[in-house]
Structure 1
C-alpha cells in the first residue's frame, strides 16, 4: 500500500499516522513546492512539484503516481481540491484512489458564500453573510447586520486576508485593500466572481472544531468534537475533546446531506447557547491530530476501505475530556539546492 500526500506542507503528524498503519507493507510519498516542507521529513520519497495552478501540476502528479505505484492519493491543500476533483477519473484509470469529494461537494465547501447558503438550507444557523458590498451596507443601515464584521476571501485558504472592522470607515478601507491583496495573491486564480470578498457578522463565543467522517461512498460514519482553546496562524493550537450531543447532531446532519468523502473539517461557533456553522473544509484540517490523539483513527479507516474492508464506527468518536497542545520542534530538512 503506497500513499501519496500532495501539498504536504506542515502536516507531518498526518504522514506519521498513515505510516504507522501501513508499517513496512508500503511507502509514504509526499510532494510540495519546496523540499524544505517539514512534512517531507517523514516521507520515504519526497518530490518537488510545480504550484497547483501550473499547467504541468496534474501531469507531474500523475507521473509520480505511475512511477511510485501509488494506491491512495490524499490532497492536503484547499486550492488543489477542485482541480483533483475534476481530474479524479484520470487517476482512477491508473489504479489510484483519490480521497477527494465530488466537484459539487468541493464547490459548496470552497465557495464560502455557497457554504452559508447550504448550511441555511439544512435548517442550521450560520453567521449573516454578504458578498455584495452595497447589500451589506444596506443591511447595516437597516440593522440586519451589525459591527464588528469580518472580511475574508470568498474562495480562501487558511487565514489569508482575514480582517476585522468596527465601523463604516474601516469597512470601506479594508474592503478595497482586501480586494487588492487577493488579486495579488495565489487566491486570484480561484476568485471566479467579482464579488470575491465575504462580509460576515462576527460571532463571539466558544469555538469548536469537528471532524465529520463519511466513508468512500459518502455515507456518514461518525464525528469528533473538540473545543478550541487557542488558535495560532489560523490553526487550532490547543483543544479538548468534548461530549456535546447537540454539536454531534449538527455534524451528522451535515455529513448525511453533503455526502463528502473521508474527513470534513468543520468550524462551529456558540453564542447564547445557539450554534453557528462557520466553514466546511473537505480534507484533513489542522485540528485533526487532536481527534487522533484522543482515540479517533481515520487513517486506519481509509486504508481499510481502499482494501475493501470495513471498520467499526467507534473509531470515529474520541475519548472525551482529552486536552492537547501543539508545540514547535526544529527539523533538519536538508540543504539548499544549487547554492552558489
Structure 2
C-alpha cells in the first residue's frame, strides 16, 4: 500500500522557489518539500522545509549522494530542474525506484533528443511539424545564403545548449563568420556538460517570424498524454519567459497532443513555438518544468497535484487542468534572507525529528550539509 504522506525533493533547486510553494500547497500538509543544490546560498534552499548541500552534477558522487539522501529522508518523488542532470538521473531511475523514490524524468532517449537542437529539428520534420532550417557548418550556411536559400537574420547557437547561453543573432556575413569563430571558442563553457568537447557542437538556424508561444505539454508518469497549456509570450529575460498571457489556441493544443503522444515523455514538457500565418513552428523542447510554467499556474493549472496523485496511484483532483484564458502575468525579483547556516552531517547522525532537523550522509570527498 502506498503511503498517504510524500516527501518531495527538488534537485538543482536554484531560484525555483515558486515550484516549492506550488508543491507544498498541493501536499496540504501530507509531506515535506526538500531542496538540494551545490550552492548553499541558493534561494530555494532557504524556503524549503529542509535543504541539503550536495556535490555538483558532474561529480561522480552526485547520484550516490542523492540516493542516500532520498533513502534517509524517505523521499517519494524527486523533481529534477537542471538540464545537465536530466540524463544521468534518467539512467539511474531504476536505482531510485528500488528505494521507493519516483524520479519525474523522461527516458534517456527523450532527454537526448530534446538536448540536441538538430535532433529536435529532425524529429519535428518527421512528424510533419515546421522547424527552423539548421546548418552544422558556417560554410554550408554561407553557400545557402549565396544561393538565396537562407536569409538574415540568423542565429548561431550551441547545438547542445541551455538557458540561451552562447546564442548570437547575426545580420550579415561578417557577423556570421565572427559569431561562428567566437561560438567555437566558447563551446566548452556554453554547452551541456556531456557534449562540451564535441566538434560538431555549433549550429546555425534561421530566425523565425511570427508570435512566440510557450506550451506546457503534460503527460502522466507512464508517458500518457493528458493536456496542453498555451501561453503567448509578451517578454523574455535571460532566455526565460518574463511576461505572458494564457490563450485558447486549438492549433497549439493539437501540436501539444502530437508531441506528447509521440515522445511519451514524463511530466511536464516545456516547448518554444512560433506561430506565423496560422502555422506552428517548433523551436525547442525542454522535458522538465520550465520558466513558463508559473504563467500556467497563475491561470489555474495544478500539475503538482496531478503528479502527486499519479505517484500515489490515484486519479488527479478535478479541474487540475482547467486553465483560465486571457490571464496576463509578469515575473518580478524577490529577496530571500539567508538566515540558516550549513551544518556538516555525519553517517551517525540520528533520523529526522522535525522539518528543521533533517540529516544526510557525509561523504569523505564530497560532504553534504544541512541548513537549520
User: Partners of 1:245 and 1:305 in 2: how far apart?
Assistant: 26
1:221 aligns with 2:226: yes
Give 1:97's aligned residue.
102
Contact 1:224 1:317 in 2 (8 A): no
The structure number with the bigger radius of gyration is 2
User: Partners of 1:43 and 1:269 in 2: how far apart?
Assistant: 36
Give 1:265's aligned residue.
270
User: Partners of 1:336 and 1:311 in 2: how far apart?
Assistant: 38
Contact 1:36 1:334 in 2 (8 A): no
Contact 2:77 2:101 in 1 (8 A): yes
CA distance 1:337–1:25, change in 2 (3 Å): closer
* Post-superposition CA distance 1:249-278 (Å, at most 9, x none): 111111111100000000101223322110
User: Partners of 1:263 and 1:313 in 2: how far apart?
Assistant: 18
1:13 aligns with 2:15: no
Q: What is the CA-CA distance between 1:133 and the residue it aligns to?
A: 2.8
1:237 aligns with 2:242: yes
* Post-superposition CA distance 1:74-126 (Å, at most 9, x none): 00011100111111111111111000000111111011110011011111101
Give 1:23's aligned residue.
28
**129-138 or 201-210, larger mean C-alpha shift:** 129-138
* Post-superposition CA distance 1:204-254 (Å, at most 9, x none): 321100000001111110000000101111111110000111111111111
User: Partners of 1:110 and 1:284 in 2: how far apart?
Assistant: 15
1:181 aligns with 2:218: no
User: Partners of 1:185 and 1:76 in 2: how far apart?
Assistant: 18
Q: What is the CA-CA distance between 1:41 and the residue it aligns to?
A: 2.2
Give 2:337's aligned residue.
332
Match of 1:144 among 120, 141, 149: 149
1:310 aligns with 2:315: yes
Contact 2:138 2:177 in 1 (8 A): no
Structure 2 runs not aligned, ≥5 long: 1-5, 344-372
User: Partners of 2:183 and 2:239 in 1: how far apart?
Assistant: 17
Residue 245 of structure 2 aligns to a residue in which SS? strand
Contact 2:273 2:282 in 1 (8 A): yes
Contact 1:154 1:191 in 2 (8 A): no
1:202 aligns with 2:207: yes
User: Partners of 1:159 and 1:308 in 2: how far apart?
Assistant: 37
CA distance 1:184–1:237, change in 2 (3 Å): closer
1:51 aligns with 2:56: yes
Contact 1:223 1:317 in 2 (8 A): no
Contact 1:35 1:333 in 2 (8 A): no
1:42 aligns with 2:47: yes
1:114 aligns with 2:106: no
CA distance 1:225–1:184, change in 2 (3 Å): closer
Give 1:162's aligned residue.
167
User: TM-score, normalised on structure 1?
Assistant: 0.95
User: Partners of 2:289 and 2:193 in 1: how far apart?
Assistant: 24
Give 2:216's aligned residue.
211
Q: Which runs of 4+ in 1 moved over 4 A?
A: 335-338
**46-55 or 2-11, larger mean C-alpha shift:** 46-55
User: TM-score, normalised on structure 2?
Assistant: 0.87
User: Partners of 1:38 and 1:274 in 2: how far apart?
Assistant: 40
Cα RMSD of the aligned pairs, angstroms, is 1.7
Q: What is the CA-CA distance between 1:194 and the residue it aligns to?
A: 1.5
How do 1:261-300 and structure 2 match up within 5 A?
A: 261-300=266-305
Q: What is the CA-CA distance between 1:336 and the residue it aligns to?
A: 7.5
Q: What is the CA-CA distance between 1:145 and the residue it aligns to?
A: 1.6
Give 2:364's aligned residue.
none
